[in-house]
Amino acid sequence: MRLSAFAIMILLGLGCAPPTAIPGVVRPGPGERLASIPGPMPDFGSFDTASDAIQAACPLLLSKPHATAGRSTDENFRLRWALSQEYCAWLYYTPDHKYEMSMLAAGTLQDDPGKRTCGLPPVVDDPRYPPESLGYVFVLHTHPYENVLSDFDIRFIVAMAAEHGVVVKTRTGAIPISIVAFFSRSSDMENPSCDGFFQYIPGTGELLRWTHPRGAWVHELMGKVTWIDADTYHIDMP
């Protein structure tokens, strides 16, 4: 399906206009990389459990402008994809035994039409706590549609596990660090539903897809990542 001349004009116009500031979103300038991301996200938490925090984070991230492109079979999907942006954040554990979310990082205009990135920095700056006291549990981000975790996603969380540790010790036990990608199957761009997320856990190698078809969250094993050396891995399908 080809983009219409009108759609192309819209994209060209957006490319010339500076991005609009979005509450709770940090967007670096051209060529700039964030050294840290502020926390906590205003009016988000805190939460007693990681699962409660993830369920609250999913609709919040997907509600941001152009966070989802809907179904890949939708008539306007290619235009929505062209306009889409990725948002990401840290879900972290505090010395008060609570789960908080950082503010969201959003990338500048994408230089690759086939990819979306958001430039999440490796650390959270929460002025209430010493930097070394935070536990980095989940990298959260949006996917414009229901597609699996990318090679970049897998390598990024492995790098973060090397920096912060494979597990985070909490009051209720150890939680493995992982990366989560939220998706929506909705065609309603103003109020998209949270339909699930993909997850990769470096400590176990598991690639999971979580959905809630009957109201309760369930997961299926999509594959297991096996690292051959520091740079090479393969995915074993179930």
- Strand-pairing partners, residue 33, are none
Rg of the chain over all Cα atoms, to the nearest angstrom? 18
Residues 58 and 51 sit within 8 Å (Cβ to Cβ): no
pLDDT of the residue at 76 = 81
End-to-end CA distance of the chain: 34
- Strand-pairing partners, residue 136, are 92
Classify strands 206-211 and 218-227 as parallel, antiparallel or unpaired: antiparallel
pLDDT of the residue at 5 = 40
Structure tokens at 126: 């929460």
pLDDT of the residue at 47 = 98
Give the span between the Cα atoms of 182 and 71, in whole angstroms. Answer: 14
pLDDT of the residue at 13 = 42
pLDDT of the residue at 114 = 65
- Strand-pairing partners, residue 206, are 201, 224
**Buried (b) or exposed (e) across 182-202, using 16+ Cβ within 10 A?**
bbbbbbebeebebbbbbbbbb
User: Residue 78 sits in which domain range?
Assistant: 5-236
Query: Exposed, middle or buried by CB within 10 Å (0-12, 13-18, 19+), for 80?
Result: buried
Q: How far is CA 165 from CA 71, 118, 137, 161, 217, in A?
A: 36, 22, 9, 5, 27
Structure tokens at 182: 């939220």
Structural domain count of the chain: 1
Give me the tens of pLDDT residue by residue for the chain, a chain 238 residues long.
344 443 433 343 444 444 568 889 998 888 788 999 999 999 998 999 999 999 999 999 999 998 988 787 777 878 877 888 899 999 999 999 999 999 999 976 555 666 778 889 999 999 999 999 999 999 999 998 888 999 999 999 999 999 999 999 999 999 999 999 999 998 887 889 999 999 999 999 999 999 998 889 999 999 999 999 999 999 999 8
